[in-house]
Amino acid sequence: MSQNIAVSYDPIKSLTWNKVVSERVRELSKINSWKAMSHLLLDWTIIMVAIAVSMRENSLLAYIFSVLVIGARQHALLIITHEGAHFRLNNTKWLNDLFSNLFAAFPIFFCTQGYRANHLAHHRHLNSQQDPDWVRKIKLREWQFPQTRKQLIETFATVLMTSWYKMIILFWNLSELGKRDSWTIRDKRHLIFLKLAFYSGLAIGLSLTSTWHIFALYWLVPYFLVMPVAERIRSISEHFGLARENELNHSRNILCSPLEAFVFGPHNVRYHLDHHMFPTVPQYNLPKLHQALSEIPEYSDSAHENHAYIFGTKSVLEDILTAQI
């Protein structure tokens, strides 16, 4: 198991870094709410089209394809929730949380505010004993790398077999309200009311239209079979199989194919190193940020980058596999 190593080199404090990048980061950190909403609208459009095509074709092959596509877009909604947790969807905080919850978090049984409390601690204490993500994962064998191919297959078999209850437990913990002492009673009541209204409305709508079976086939099946796999591969890629010697290899960027990006790295979350360095930059500006950073020798010489998640050379898969049989 790799040991947690304190960050020893902070290029953000370098004179060259600040001179070249600071103004560009300030520019790229501006929020374009319409652009953010257009990405969310595209996700839902793809989901609706996938369902419509499958129901029209009425074949097993079309259904399997729709499940894969919908599961990938559910994963994309999780990334939109991540944007909401960073207040990157709208400059008005209550609108940011409303859009994030109603159109991304609640549909995948999630909560923006609960996730934010956990995720911002992850950013402040990356890969340390104060990082809740790190503490939750690192003691488990399935999160220790490198692994042999056999161990990796066993890991993902476990992911599939236990996804239903692990997803429920994880998302329940990240949606829990009682321990967020910084929230006012009024905030908690508003959020609880909004959640009750959303899920009650969903249940009533499905009952009135007799479409519970559609919801099960086209939402719950991909949610428990496809989304956990995509989410696990992305989670592994973000902070595992890395040297963790300095800020530029505590995470990685993955410059992968569009197909892999669609499934494993939606909404530019694959630029995860850049996101950790400058979390104020919204996802639609991360490619521009990466281009600016790549022009700086300190960054281009040391940043950990892969060219694929699984399918290709210099992949994350290569980083997390051991040569041992």
pLDDT at residue 15, rounded to an integer: 43
pLDDT at residue 95, rounded to an integer: 96
Residue 1 lies in a domain: no
The encoded tokens of residue 125 equal: 């204490």
Classify residue 228 as left (phi > 0), alpha (psi -120 to 50) or beta.
Answer: alpha
Q: Within 10 A of 100 (CB to CB), how many other CB atoms are there?
A: 31
- Per-residue pLDDT, averaged over 243-268, amounts to 93
Residue 6 lies in a domain: no
Q: Within 10 A of 129 (CB to CB), how many other CB atoms are there?
A: 10
- For residues 199-209, one letter each, b for 16 or more C-beta atoms within 10 angstroms of the residue's C-beta and e for the rest, the string is eeeeeeeeeee
Residue that the structure tokens 């259904």 belong to:
63
Position with higher pLDDT, 174 vs 67: 67
Segments of the chain assigned E as strands: 253-254, 305-306
Q: Within 10 A of 198 (CB to CB), how many other CB atoms are there?
A: 15
Residue pLDDT, tens place only, 174-230: 555 445 555 566 777 888 889 899 999 999 999 999 999 999 999 999 999 999 999
Residue pLDDT, tens place only, 153-166: 988 888 877 766 66
The one-character DSSP state at 187 is H
The average confidence (pLDDT) of the chain is 87
SS3 content of the chain, % helix, strand, coil (to 5): 70, 5, 25
Residue 5 lies in a domain: no
pLDDT at residue 8, rounded to an integer: 38
Q: Which domain holds residue 273?
A: 11-320
- State in Å, rounded, how far the first CA of the chain is from the last one: 17
**188: enclosing H helix or E strand:** helix 185-208
Domains identified in the chain, total number: 1
Residue pLDDT, tens place only, 274-306: 999 999 999 999 999 999 999 888 888 889 999
pTM: 0.89
Residue 282 lies in a domain: yes
Q: Is the pLDDT of residue 13 over 70?
A: no
Residue 309 lies in a domain: yes
Residue 325 lies in a domain: no
Residue 136 lies in a domain: yes
* Max CA distance (Å), the chain: 63
Residue 4 lies in a domain: no
Residue pLDDT, tens place only, 89-139: 999 999 999 999 999 999 999 889 888 988 888 998 888 888 888 888 888
Q: What angle do CA 143, 265, 87 make, to 5 degrees?
A: 95
